[in-house]
Amino acid sequence: METLTFNGKDISYQAGWHDQSTFSLDAGYGEGLKDSDGDEYFIHIEYHADENVWVREVWFEDDYLSVKEWKDYDDKMKAEYDKIVELAKTLV
């Protein structure tokens, strides 16, 4: 399994195409990433080729949010997500 560095920690990721227009990358699933409330999460990035749109989300056990709605999303976290999107762009 491939790894990437997120907030100074090496975490695994999986990436691939779901269909001809949707690519996703999930990172940190089950690896103990926790937000400021102690809730576990993982990183979800999607690319919709037909619209040329990148979607950045944080997924929890029973919910998910756009990173812009996440209270832990700050400039440092944005920079970390930017690095993951750049990695994803090399895989598309």
What digits encode the pLDDT tens for the residues 47-56?
999 999 999 9
Q: How many domains are contained in the chain?
A: 1
pLDDT class of 57 with cuts at 50, 70, 90: very high
Share of the chain above pLDDT 70, in %: 100
Q: Name which of 17-21, 47-51, 79-83 the model is least confident about.
A: 79-83
pTM of the entire structure?
0.90
Averaged pLDDT for residues 10-33: 95
Q: What is the pLDDT of residue 7?
A: 87
Q: What is the pLDDT of residue 1?
A: 77
Token pair 């907030």 is found at: 7
pLDDT class of 33 with cuts at 50, 70, 90: very high
Q: Which domain holds residue 74?
A: 2-91
End-to-end CA distance of the chain: 17
